[in-house]
Chain A
Amino acid sequence: MSTPFWFVLLALIAYGIAFWGYGKWYDRTVWKPDPNRTTPAHMYTDGVEYFPVSKYVLWGYQYKSVAALGPILGPFIALNYGWAPALAWIILGNFFIGWLQDYGAIMVSIRNQGRSFGPITYEFTGAGGRSTLLGFILFYLVIISATFIQLIATFWNIFPGSFFATLGIIVTGVVVGQLMYKVKMGVGATTLIAFVLMIISFWLGTIPAFQWKLPFGAWNHATWALIVAAILWVASVLPLPTFIQPFNYVSFFPAFLAVIFILLGALLSPATGVTLAQPAWKGFTSPAGPMWPMMFVAIACGSISGWHSLVGSSSTSKQLDIETDAHPVGAGAMLSEGLLALASLAAYMVLSPQQIADLKNSSVGAWVFGATLLTKWLPFSDAALRVFYGTVLVIYAITVQALVTRFWRLVSAEVFGQSPLAQKHVSTFIGLLIPWVLAVSGTWNNIWLYFGGSNQLLAGLALMLITIHLARVKSPSIYTLIPATFMIVTTLSALLFQTWVFLQAAMAGPKATKVMEPLKSAAPAVANALDWVSVLIGLALFVLGIRMAVLTYQAYGRAVSGAMPQPTTVSGDD
């Protein structure tokens, strides 16, 4: 058991049982999908949002839409308690909770005319519930943005070569967009050009002359964060085909090549001789807080994630050909993401505590060095592999963050209506300024735990919506009610704990601040004020979460008692 191979093998067996054993049984017992029942994709075909798509395409689409930095970097914090609890939560969380949520979200949407979670929340909990969800998602987006901006800035600061490589890939994306849409060049030729340009970008990143370092000393991180925000601004306000679309397309190739490399590295570890260097158990408490609830929110998307339910009910459910495709698409994509979390955990486990300390306890640095160690058998130098893996992390963050910033714009338009705050540039500015301030001031663990807490709480609430639907149609709801309750209690506790951490720091004054350098020394009063801001964000997330939880449990009570009307049936339903 001294190589990562065994853990990947164990997880593959567990996920296999979850998919073909528990999954099939649950399907027969609870959802009873019927391949002859008309899905929204056929019922409302418009060739734009509603149209039937093959399950293989949808699986690829769903997986690509949900797999981001959560499962890659989350296990690093969980490692504070030892790898054994982290491994257990990745496997058991996926087995009993994660896939149930992703699959259930798609099925609920299908059985409710392909509607997304906003209208479904409105139907189950009323206008108050939908407004609360909207408010919660606004704070959630701020936290995601802060987390990702901080990550990219941290990485560019640690590995300067990756900035140039990222820039090269951004330029490649823009060129590809022009070639595809303006020059009308074929996809094959464009992709070939993109490959060549990307290889040149990675290669340039390894050359010292292109490993740019900023001259601002302690303020380097803040400046890198500003550059990230500027790039995101451009990505958010430009038309999709000019920036985000082609950039996402070219980024896909290195991003998924990296995942395949690391998984292969873990499976080949008995042959390559890479062994585990981390202790299995370190203790119940760590600097991040007690194992329960903090570890369960730290491994963000690796076990369960609320973002997945938003994606599943927003687009996938509208394109599902037949009901029986929902299981391979929803459950399959989640379990595959569990493998990604496991591969990342393996990358951390092969580094010794001393090596991680030498990397200043940086999760991004540790992942890159661990991934490099696992894939030493590749015919590239360590420096080249580090630039490659580092840039891949940045790519993951930018592709998701560009979409999040756009989504913020749309939510702002919904919230602020005709006010100037809804204007494109104003809302984008606000949507980047607040996260930038948090990213520059907050410590990594604290922001990540807010992110994990809100993300997992959203998952708990999604599970409650699924439970309400099942109770309403008199199907067994206990299999989602128990995970929903566990997730809601755990995440609310985690948010409360993290808020308490910030409150203690804020009340103790500038010396105890959670704000990092250089702001901590340069402007202690500002640092203390930012601690209070973090308290307010935590409280807002907690209060909104509690309100949503109360509303969903009340709705569940109505559904069980039969007071809630049955879903509207359409032609083709049973």
Chain B
Amino acid sequence: MFSKKKNGGEGEKKAGLGTILKGVLYGMASHGNVTAALRTRMHLEHLFMFITLGDMLGIPVLPPYYSLRILPYAVPNIESWKQRVFRERDFTDAIY
């Protein structure tokens, strides 16, 4: 349901009526729920990353030995985690 286009514009095909209706229905009924579920997962992942890699932010929660054992599994998430944690957040971001 999410867009497959990289950056729209050229090569964009006109959607059929079925695709449009499906998209609109999904948007009205479920998109908010899906994004809310994603945010819930994000908060849980933040917690996990803080516990395992907290020393990256100067908060050693878990002894470095265990952090190092988990590191290979956490590496793919480090970049997006740092991006989300350090992103400017405001009360007006929390409406939906």
Chain A residues within 8 Å of B, Cβ to Cβ: 35-36, 38, 42, 44, 46-49, 51-65, 115-119, 133-134, 137, 187, 239-241, 245-246, 248-249, 252-253, 256, 310-311, 313-315, 321-322, 324-325, 403, 407, 410-411, 414
Contact indicator B91/A65 (Cβ below 8 Å): no
Complex Cα distance, B88 from A59, in Å, reads 26
Contact indicator A310/B42 (Cβ below 8 Å): no
Complex Cα distance, B90 from A59, in Å, reads 24
Q: Which of B3, B42, B84, B94 contacts A54 (CB 8 A)?
A: B3
Contact indicator A118/B93 (Cβ below 8 Å): yes
Contact with A along B8-46 (1 / 0, CB 8 A): 111010010001101111111111110111111110000
Question: Would you give 16 A-B contacts (Cβ < 8 Å), ordered by A?
Answer: A36-B7, A58-B31, A60-B24, A60-B31, A64-B27, A64-B29, A115-B88, A118-B91, A119-B88, A133-B92, A187-B30, A246-B33, A322-B5, A322-B8, A322-B9, A407-B95
Closest-CB distance, A212 to chain B (whole angstroms) = 30
Per the CB 8 Å criterion, the residue count for chain B at the interface is 45
Q: Is B66 engaged at the interface, CB distance under 8 Å to the other chain?
A: no
Contacts A36-B7, A56-B20, A57-B27; is A48 near B39 (CB within 8 Å)?
Answer: yes
A residues within 8 A CB of B90? Answer: 115-116, 118-119
Closest-CB distance, A275 to chain B (whole angstroms) = 33
Closest-CB distance, B73 to chain A (whole angstroms) = 18
Complex Cα distance, B40 from A58, in Å, reads 21
Contacts A314-B96, A321-B8; is A56 near B40 (CB within 8 Å)?
Answer: no
Complex Cα distance, B30 from A417, in Å, reads 33
Q: Is B2 engaged at the interface, CB distance under 8 Å to the other chain?
A: yes
Contact indicator A47/B3 (Cβ below 8 Å): no
The 6 closest A-B pairs by CB, nearest first: A60-B27, A56-B23, A322-B8, A118-B90, A35-B9, A57-B27
Contact indicator A52/B2 (Cβ below 8 Å): yes
Contacts A245-B36, A314-B95, A315-B35; is A61 near B3 (CB within 8 Å)?
Answer: no
Complex Cα distance, B9 from A134, in Å, reads 38
**B contacts with A: majority SS:** helix
Closest-CB distance, B27 to chain A (whole angstroms) = 3
A residues within 8 A CB of B93? Answer: 116, 118, 314
Q: Which of A59, A252, A407 contacts B94 (CB 8 A)?
A: A407
A residues within 8 A CB of B5? Answer: 52, 321-322
Q: Is B69 engaged at the interface, CB distance under 8 Å to the other chain?
A: no
**Chain A residue at minimal CB-CB distance from B27:** A60
Contact indicator A403/B96 (Cβ below 8 Å): yes
A residues within 8 A CB of B59? Answer: none
Contact indicator A315/B96 (Cβ below 8 Å): yes
Complex Cα distance, B35 from A46, in Å, reads 12
Complex Cα distance, B95 from A313, in Å, reads 10
Contact indicator B92/A310 (Cβ below 8 Å): yes
**Chain B residue at minimal CB-CB distance from A413:** B91
Q: Which of A61, A134, A137 contacts B32 (CB 8 A)?
A: A61
B residues within 8 A CB of A51? Answer: 2
Contact indicator B23/A60 (Cβ below 8 Å): yes
B residues within 8 A CB of A313? Answer: 92
Contacts A36-B7, A56-B24; is A64 near B32 (CB within 8 Å)?
Answer: yes
